A and B are shown apart, each in its own frame.
Chain A
Amino acid sequence: MWRFFSKKQATDSELEEELQAHLEIETKQLMDRGLPRAQAEMEARRLFGEQYGSRALVMEATRETGGHRAFARLWQDIRYAARVLRRAPAFTTAAVLSLALGIGATTAVFSIADTIFLRPLPYADAGRLVWVGIRYGDLEFLPSPDYVTWRRNNRVFQDLAATQASLSTSMLLGGSDPGEVHAGRVSANFLDTFAVAPALGRTFTPQEELPHGPKAVLLTDQFWRDRFHGRRDALGSVIPLDGLPYAVIGVLPRSFIYPADVKIDLLTTLPVSPTASHRDRSMSTWAVFGRLKRGVTMAQARADVDMLFAASKRDDPKMFRADNSVVLQHLREHRAGNVRTLLLILMGAAGCLLAIACANVANLLLARWSARARELAVRAAVGAGRGRLARQLFTEIALLIATGAAAGMLLVAAALRGFVRYAAGEFPRSSEVSTDFRVFGIALLVSLATALIFGGLPALRAGRVDLQSVLRQAGRGGAAGGHRVMRRALVAMEVALSVILLSGAALLFETLWHMQNDHLGFRPEQSLTVRVRAAGLQGSVSDALTDGILADMRRIPGTLAAAITQCTPLSRGAFWITFSRADRPLPEPFHRGDGIGVCGAGPEYLKAAGTRLVAGRFFTDGDPPGTLAVINEAAARAYLPGESAIGKQILGGRAGPWKTVVGVVADTKNQGLNQPASPEALVNDTRTANAATVLIIVRTIAGQGAFARALHDELRAGHPGSFARIETLDEEMGELTASPRFNTVLIATFAAVAFLMAVVGVYGVLAFSVAQRSQEIGIRMALGATPGTVLALVMREGAVLMAAGALAGVGAALVLTRYLAALLYGVAADDPVTYAAVVAGLALAALAASFLPARRAALMDPVVALRHE
């Protein structure tokens, strides 16, 4: 700006000098002809004036030719537009806000969804990466024997890598400062499959995946920096994990991303036994990723995998049922498929919001041009060209859109920053989230198109309209008449769209409420879960050690109960086996129906978890371990219907000695908050053989923090090298509701914004209509209409808009919310109460919005109203 002015100054002074030179030359010529200097100077000035006009005029005219002229005119237009917009603050604020919210919300949501779910994973030649598995009901995985044979016998994969299906394992990192680390367990060829080379060191060797092979880890870049301060000599060092030494063989590149959406600190190997067979006593379930050989098509790959699957079935038909099928998908497709519903819903919601925002802007512009028809006509009458007028109006629209887009960008930036902070731990790629300019561009184009259609066409027409008729009609609603129907339709559409969004949000809210408030079957308050990991927690020493830890906990003031257990009220035990009872024949091996969760639990479990005993008794310290069972009501209903459960001998045969049922406990949400309880048996056997973690449930009146500090001190004194993770049951429930909460917050935000915009839309239309009809209302009142009838007249107009919109909205919502059904719990997608509440709420808000203009109309003084023209 300063340079612009200084340049202008420079050209001004140059021009001054140029004109001065002109005068001097003239003077000299005159003096050469014999005139004295003073006279010559005067004559020169006179001649200049006569021949070229005044110096000021010349200066001005010359300046005008400057290259700045076009720019200056544009600048003038922009300044004028800004002034006009500033003078209508209500209109400008509403329009800019609508645009900002419409563009901003759409862009922010898509930027997040795109990064987390859709952006291709950063692997070389990712098009050849596929997901391979067998579908078991809702689950997809590959049993370890099939992985081993398929990896050996396939003809289409360059590499076939396995990772644990449970995504990550937490392990205890020993040393002076014990801590918990998240390990991803993978087959040795994992990095080759994903074409990732370690930044330092080497990848796993085939020996390292053998069940008793050398133990090795690859560190993630982040973990290497945090724990080893990025030192190169970390390579070759040995770290204790779960009490065993692991050699650090390499560091992963900073860009590495684990293909499952979980946070990991390091990679280690899965035990892949080359002789794994379906006849082994146990097997693992793995998630399998393949890299196709160059030139192999999906069809060829599918044919090959089908053959492998057929061979697996021939090998052991009992392993598979008719509805098991093979899955082969591009990795990208597999990832997107997991969130398809959520994405569709978000897309729909964002689309609704953008449509509402555009309708609002369109409405505001229509109202504005109608109100300004007179001004435009006058300006045309005093000589403003049609082109000039149109240019100014378009400048106004452009300025509006630009401001809205800029505000939208700010909104996006703020939303994304907030998201990254909020979701840092929950989504593995959240730090990569960045503004998606494609969506921003699309949203911007849609708004621009709307503004041009609804703002531009009337503007063009305004230049063409017959001046006389406009001047005669403006202010009487005549000029607005053409837009009236369109404006009403737009507002009705806004109402309909907000009914859809509000219904969706209300249904999700109800789901969340049900999840958090449905009968849980236990009291989460004051209940803590403590997961202790200690190097010595293996084999025979474990019982003494856990007894010691349990004693430590009981010593901490405030502890009411503490029990070792293999499950919490929110999980269903360490094993999932087939139900059996002593008085019936044993089930077939690998029989898949009639499952029951088995969970070892100590005598104080019931008290610690706050679960209710329905019948019989619970375990006591004196019971011989492994002989008794307590089942939940779901198990009693499913497997012992119409019988008394007490005294029955269950879960024996191949599963070990028979256990006597001594009690029945209330169901807990052991499959997650949005599922009914599944059958579960608690057994009085807490020997934690081969478990690296001891889970203890504690009920304490001391706070979580105080208990954690006390336990930390006890552990450091009595069991150095151990580490305890302490959570409240409430927190564990919070993790289960995190994703529904996220969905609900998003949709609810959309719905709230949509609701506001719809209400503003209704208000805007009615307020404008009252202003336009003031004369008519004045006449009505002069003819004897009471304020009451006028009030009713305006309110009726609002009610009609509202009713039409709500009707269309409920119809559309009934169709659309069916797609939401998968996310709902405890409420049906067509729950009539929800819809009634939404419509009633919106109707109330619309009524309130129409009351203000209606009151203004009712309080109008007919004399003033009639004189208005």
Chain B
Amino acid sequence: MPGRIELIQGTLDLVILQVLQWGPQHGHGIGQAIRIRSREALRIEHGSLYPALHRLEQRGWLASEWKISEANRRARYYRLTPKGRRQLVEEQSRWKQLVRAVARTMKPVKE
């Protein structure tokens, strides 16, 4: 599918944390949110969403609980922990630095 970008290593975490700051969501919802919010531009690497969710939970950035979903079935809902919220802020600023730094390298050299 043309126009789609693979997420850079490590940025998936940021994107997940970003999505979850609007409220608890299950795996399907998170995946959908990433696709929709990136206007289908971001593609999650094969098989990496759920491992990432579990990893983030283990680090204590996410917490999860089982709730009834819109499909009338138990689904696992993830939400940000306070630690995850702090991590999000940190990742955001680091991302901005990265973007600025990469952008600078792309500007034409003035002298």
Other-chain residue from B48, B54, B58, B75 in contact with A25 (beta carbon distance below 8 A):
B75
Whether the Cβ atoms of B44 and A27 lie closer than 8 Å is no
A76 within 8 A of B: no
Interface string of A52-92 (1 = CB under 8 A from B): 11100110011011110000000000000000000000000
A24 within 8 A of B: yes
Q: For A14, what are the chain B residues with a Cβ–Cβ distance below 8 Å?
A: 76
Choose the segment among B14-22, B24-32, B92-100, B102-110 that binds chain A (4+ C-beta atoms closer than 8 Å).
B24-32
Whether the Cβ atoms of A64 and B51 lie closer than 8 Å is yes
Most buried by B among A17, A19, A24, A54: A24
Given known A27-B71, A62-B54, contact A21–B47 (CB-CB < 8 A): no
Whether the Cβ atoms of B71 and A28 lie closer than 8 Å is yes
26 A-B pairs (CB sep. < 8 Å)? A17-B76, A18-B50, A19-B50, A21-B71, A21-B73, A22-B28, A25-B26, A25-B28, A25-B69, A25-B70, A26-B28, A28-B71, A52-B44, A52-B47, A52-B50, A53-B46, A53-B47, A54-B47, A57-B47, A58-B49, A58-B51, A61-B47, A61-B48, A62-B50, A65-B58, A67-B58
Q: For B86, what are the chain A residues with a Cβ–Cβ distance below 8 Å?
A: none
B55 within 8 A of A: yes
Q: How many A-B residue pairs have CB under 8 A?
A: 78
A833 CB, min distance to chain B CBs, angstroms: 74
Whether the Cβ atoms of B55 and A52 lie closer than 8 Å is no
Whether the Cβ atoms of B71 and A25 lie closer than 8 Å is yes
**Alpha-carbon separation in the docked complex, A734 to B27 (Å):** 84
Interface residues on B, range: 20 to 34
B83 within 8 A of A: no
Closest Cβ neighbor of B47 among chain A residues: A53
Residues 34-71 of B at the A interface (beta carbon under 8 Å): 35, 43-44, 46-52, 54-55, 58, 69-71
Q: For B26, what are the chain A residues with a Cβ–Cβ distance below 8 Å?
A: 18, 21-22, 25
Interface string of A20-54 (1 = CB under 8 A from B): 11101111100000000000000000000001111
Whether the Cβ atoms of B71 and A15 lie closer than 8 Å is no
**Alpha-carbon separation in the docked complex, A54 to B76 (Å):** 20
Interface string of A811-842 (1 = CB under 8 A from B): 00000000000000000000000000000000
Whether the Cβ atoms of B48 and A18 lie closer than 8 Å is no
Closest Cβ neighbor of B43 among chain A residues: A51
**Alpha-carbon separation in the docked complex, A18 to B46 (Å):** 17
Q: For B55, what are the chain A residues with a Cβ–Cβ distance below 8 Å?
A: 65
B84 CB, min distance to chain A CBs, angstroms: 16
A675 CB, min distance to chain B CBs, angstroms: 77
Residues of chain B whose beta carbon lies under 8 Å from any beta carbon of chain A: 26-29, 31, 35, 43-44, 46-52, 54-55, 58, 69-71, 73-76
Whether the Cβ atoms of A21 and B75 lie closer than 8 Å is yes
Q: How many residues of A contact B (CB 8 A)?
A: 25
B64 CB, min distance to chain A CBs, angstroms: 9
Whether the Cβ atoms of B54 and A66 lie closer than 8 Å is yes
**Alpha-carbon separation in the docked complex, A14 to B50 (Å):** 12
**Alpha-carbon separation in the docked complex, A771 to B91 (Å):** 60
Whether the Cβ atoms of B28 and A65 lie closer than 8 Å is no
Whether the Cβ atoms of A24 and B71 lie closer than 8 Å is yes
Closest Cβ neighbor of A25 among chain B residues: B28
**Alpha-carbon separation in the docked complex, A64 to B55 (Å):** 9
B75 CB, min distance to chain A CBs, angstroms: 4
Residues 537-585 of A at the B interface (beta carbon under 8 Å): none
Closest Cβ neighbor of B73 among chain A residues: A24
Q: Contacts A52-B48, A61-B48, A65-B58 given; 18 further ones with Cβ under 8 A?
A: A15-B54, A18-B26, A18-B75, A18-B76, A19-B27, A20-B73, A21-B28, A21-B75, A21-B76, A22-B28, A22-B75, A25-B71, A27-B71, A51-B44, A58-B50, A61-B51, A62-B50, A65-B55
Other-chain residue from A20, A27, A62 in contact with B51 (beta carbon distance below 8 A):
A62
Most buried by A among B31, B48, B50, B55: B50
Q: For B70, what are the chain A residues with a Cβ–Cβ distance below 8 Å?
A: 25, 28
A35 CB, min distance to chain B CBs, angstroms: 14
**Alpha-carbon separation in the docked complex, A52 to B54 (Å):** 15
Q: For B46, what are the chain A residues with a Cβ–Cβ distance below 8 Å?
A: 52-53, 57
**Alpha-carbon separation in the docked complex, A62 to B54 (Å):** 7
Q: For A66, what are the chain B residues with a Cβ–Cβ distance below 8 Å?
A: 54, 58
Closest Cβ neighbor of A21 among chain B residues: B75
Whether the Cβ atoms of B74 and A15 lie closer than 8 Å is no
**Alpha-carbon separation in the docked complex, A53 to B51 (Å):** 12
B24 CB, min distance to chain A CBs, angstroms: 14
Q: For A24, what are the chain B residues with a Cβ–Cβ distance below 8 Å?
A: 69, 71, 73, 75
Q: For A61, what are the chain B residues with a Cβ–Cβ distance below 8 Å?
A: 47-48, 50-51
**Alpha-carbon separation in the docked complex, A444 to B43 (Å):** 55
Whether the Cβ atoms of B75 and A65 lie closer than 8 Å is no
**Alpha-carbon separation in the docked complex, A15 to B50 (Å):** 9
A293 CB, min distance to chain B CBs, angstroms: 63
Closest Cβ neighbor of A67 among chain B residues: B58
Closest Cβ neighbor of B31 among chain A residues: A51
Whether the Cβ atoms of A65 and B51 lie closer than 8 Å is yes
Q: For B44, what are the chain A residues with a Cβ–Cβ distance below 8 Å?
A: 51-52
**Alpha-carbon separation in the docked complex, A500 to B16 (Å):** 72
**Alpha-carbon separation in the docked complex, A51 to B76 (Å):** 19
Q: For B27, what are the chain A residues with a Cβ–Cβ distance below 8 Å?
A: 18-19, 21-22
4 closest Cβ contacts across the A-B interface?
A53-B46, A53-B47, A21-B75, A24-B71
